[in-house]
Amino acid sequence: MTKNCADVIVVGCGPIGAYAAWKFAEQGVDVLALESKKGNQAPSHIGDFHFDRQAFDHAEIPLPPKSKIICTYPGLCIHSPNPKIHLNVEGVETWALDLNGFIRSLRTYAKSAGARISYGARVTTVIKENGRVTGVRAKTPRGMKEFRAPIVVDASGALGAVRRHIPSMAFSHREMAFSVYMEYWSDPDPTLDESIHSYLEHQAWTAKYPSYWIVGMGRPLPITQTKKLFAEWAKQQFKVKKKVLRRVTGTIPFAFSPPTFVDDGVLVLGDAAATNKPFNGEGIASGMHLPKLSSEHIASAVRDGGSRSSLWEINRQYYGDIGAKFTFLRAMALETLRLTTKERSATFELGLLTAEDLRQTFTQYEVKRPPALWLAPLLRLARNPLLAKKFGTMIFKSTQITKHVRHYPSESKFSEWAKTYRKMAAALSKSSD
């Protein structure tokens, strides 16, 4: 068994792993990324995906040439359970891109910055010495190899190839995941609506591309059940003749992020860290916040031997800002699953949810509505005491866990904080089962 060493080993070289390898290498550290797929294989089976226009600027990614942009959307339409009500959300520019090309571009940037990528390396286990992670073992085309580094980064997606071996990052409750099913339709007759449409009641969507539509659904259920529900919904919603070009399945996390993203010698990113957007499941643009923040600390952490203490500030900065916002939105999303169809319709009908609220959610990850604009919808809500109580409870629970997250502790006080966080997250997740 041969050995390979680096300052940082990144497990998984998908969009988040490749982005992290690039940003870390720019800080002058020696980065080795391990990718289970071979170099001549397509990086992803997803195909086309949506990426926020503003995310290029935030993540400092060069804009792709126009020839690589499949199409652009200036906004989207959110449909209420009441078919007579929908919200047109403007100012949310989204680009449709080929995910394989996007990942390859990020890998090119990473290699240009000095990162190395080892293809066909499937991590099988972690290496621990004196209770801390010091590397990984991987099956490669040339046999089993050991890869060692002061810091091992888990960017392996929902698999959590490294994270699942770290007790401090575990939850005692069952972690939720959404199974996703999508179909590519061509020549629907009659034609479907253009742009992006989201159907909240069914957790489904459609998106118009130049010569086809992507129609999909994501549910916290096994994929067989999601496919069945998709078929029923699509038949009822779209009475059309169409040709199905391809079918795609996948899984995205719908759990709260782990209580810590770091441990001695370990950093988790992307879907392994459950940093996807709670309101639509998109995980690439949102998942880039954490590696970008981590890049500011990675060089000093390597010099300190990759200790948990040297990485701890990543936790505090992330959870103190965007992590707290995502926690509130995730808690509200879980609580919303408990509402009846009539109650979900009421959020639209009473004005508790507006197009501007949704625009802010997509662009800023939080809603800041002036108090005066809350008066009318709250007065309407007050006419239904039972519903008012339910909405009040939702907001109270979501606010409580958000306050807890925003006041992220020092390393010495982490154990007690994590115990409370796990209990609150478990209660919210259980209530939505």
**46 pLDDT more than 70:** yes
CA 203 – CA 280 distance, rounded (Å)? 9
**47 pLDDT more than 90:** no
Read off φ and ψ for residue 90, nearest 5 degrees.
Answer: -105, 165
What mean pLDDT, rounded, does the chain reach?
A: 93
Q: What is the pTM of this model?
A: 0.94
Tens digit of each residue's pLDDT (9 = 90 or more) over 310-347: 999 999 999 999 999 999 999 999 999 889 999 999 99
DSSP-assigned letters across all residues of 192-221 = PPSSEEEEGGGTEEEEE-SS-EEEEEEESS
- Domain 2-68+98-172+255-322: assigned CATH number: 3.50.50.60
**3 pLDDT more than 70:** no
Tokens 């900065």 sit at which residue?
Answer: 317
β-bridge mates for residue 147, sequence order: 4, 136
How big, in percent rounded to 5, are the helix, strand and coil portions of the chain?
Answer: 40, 30, 30
Secondary structure class of 260 (helix, strand, coil): coil
Distance of CA 232 to the CA centre of its chain: 27
Which pLDDT value is given to residue 4? 77
**174 pLDDT more than 70:** no
Which pLDDT value is given to residue 408? 98
For the chain, the distance separating the N- and C-terminal CA atoms, rounded to the nearest angstrom, is 46
Q: Which is nearest to 275 in space by CA: 324, 241, 228?
A: 324
**398 pLDDT more than 50:** yes
Which pLDDT value is given to residue 173? 47
Percentage of the chain with pLDDT > 90? 84
**420 pLDDT more than 90:** yes
What is the rounded average pLDDT of the residues 205-219? 94
Tens digit of each residue's pLDDT (9 = 90 or more) over 135-150: 999 999 999 999 999 9
Q: Where are the domains of the chain?
A: 2-68+98-172+255-322, 177-253, 323-431
* pLDDT band at 279; cut points 50, 70, 90: confident
Residue 374's contacts (CB-CB under 8 Å, 6 or more residues apart) are none
Determine how many CB atoms are found less than 10 A away from the CB of residue 193. 12
